[in-house]
């Protein structure tokens, strides 16, 4: 393995770590972790999900109870989505993901200059990507 490639990968990682998108995402994740209302909702969601899983694994599952818990799960999920901090977190993560997609697109374009968008050359021989 080329040490130069590893060194450049480390350099890229350091640059990414200093990007506004990464810094914003990390700060927002930290803030979300301190949001007591959001944490309580996530705890409730995880508890309900565990109950659904437990009931589903029983020899004779109580489908009425599972349905009730599933509706409760949806309600809590809606409450989570309604939290301003959750919306901020999703926005920050989306910004970072978009930046990383652009980085990956550049890598793909350099490594496969004759390929179509997404790195596909259009020649399906030897490729199982679309099948």
**CATH value at residue 70:** 1.20.1500.10
Please indicate, yes or no, if residue 90 is contained in any of the structural domains: yes
Please indicate, yes or no, if residue 123 is contained in any of the structural domains: no
Average pLDDT on 23-44 reads 96
Q: Look at 113 and 37; give whichever has higher pLDDT.
A: 37
Cα angle vertex 70, ends 52, 97, to 5°? 95
Please indicate, yes or no, if residue 73 is contained in any of the structural domains: yes
The CA–CA distances, whole Å, from 125 to 36, 43, 108, 115 equal: 54, 49, 19, 14
Q: What is the pLDDT of residues 76-128, one digit of tens each?
A: 999 999 999 999 999 999 999 999 999 999 999 898 887 755 555 555 655 65
Q: What is the pLDDT of residues 52-74, one digit of tens each?
A: 999 999 999 999 999 999 999 99
Cβ atoms < 10 Å from Cβ of 17: 10
Show the domain range for 26. Answer: 3-109
Per-residue pLDDT at 112:
86
What is the distance between the alpha carbons of residues 79 and 45, in angstroms, rounded to a whole number? 10
Q: Which residues contact 20 (CB under 8 A, 6 or more apart)?
A: none
Q: Which residues contact 7 (CB under 8 A, 6 or more apart)?
A: none
Please indicate, yes or no, if residue 95 is contained in any of the structural domains: yes
Per-residue pLDDT at 38:
95
Q: Give the total number of structural domains in the chain.
A: 1
Per the prediction, the chain carries an average pLDDT of: 90
Q: Which residues contact 116 (CB under 8 A, 6 or more apart)?
A: 122
Lookup: tokens for 42:
């996530």
Please indicate, yes or no, if residue 77 is contained in any of the structural domains: yes
Please indicate, yes or no, if residue 59 is contained in any of the structural domains: yes
């Amino acid at each position: 393995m080329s040490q130069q490639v590893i060194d450049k990968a480390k350099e890229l990682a350091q640059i990414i770590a200093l990007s506004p998108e990464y810094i914003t995402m990390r700060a927002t994740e930290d803030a979300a972790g301190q949001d007591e209302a959001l944490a309580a909702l996530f705890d409730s969601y995880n508890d309900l999900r565990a109950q659904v899983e437990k009931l589903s694994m029983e020899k004779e599952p109580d489908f009425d109870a599972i349905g009730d818990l599933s509706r409760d799960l949806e309600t809590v999920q809606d409450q989570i989505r309604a939290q301003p901090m959750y919306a901020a977190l999703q926005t920050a993560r989306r910004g970072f993901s978009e930046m990383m997609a652009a980085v990956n697109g550049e890598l793909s374009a350099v490594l496969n200059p004759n390929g179509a968008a997404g790195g596909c050359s259009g020649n399906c021989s030897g490729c199982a990507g679309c099948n």
